[in-house]
Amino acid sequence: MVDSIKAAIKLGYHHLDGAEVYQTEEELGLAIKESGVPREKLIVTTKVITNIADIPRAIDTSLQKLQLDYVDLLVNLNECDGPELTMILGT
């Protein structure tokens, strides 16, 4: 996987997406490190899953696995239905 990600970066793919639940963060972090592309040239997204009791700790764990100081987008994979979904979608 690391070689595939590095090849994608070399081809110009700079928006990189991973997630703890996909178990791709360590490989993604290693590929970023080995790519030689400056971190600020990349857009890195990762995700935490719903029902995590300690979101700040989950974020820190993801950053550690990614070997990064920050991500550009953090998504909370939270199942949403009922009134909450209606409010979000405005329907």
Residue carrying the six token digits 């997630």: 19
SS3 49: strand
- Provide the 3-class DSSP secondary structure of residue 5: helix
Query: What are the structure tokens assigned to 57, written together?
Result: 């700790």
Please, what sign has the CA dihedral across residues 58, 16, 4, 49? Answer: positive
- Single out the catalytic residue among 4, 22, 50, 86: 22
Q: Is 70 a catalytic residue?
A: no
Of 28, 84, 72, 18, the C-alpha closest to 48 is 18
- Residues catalogued as catalytic: 22
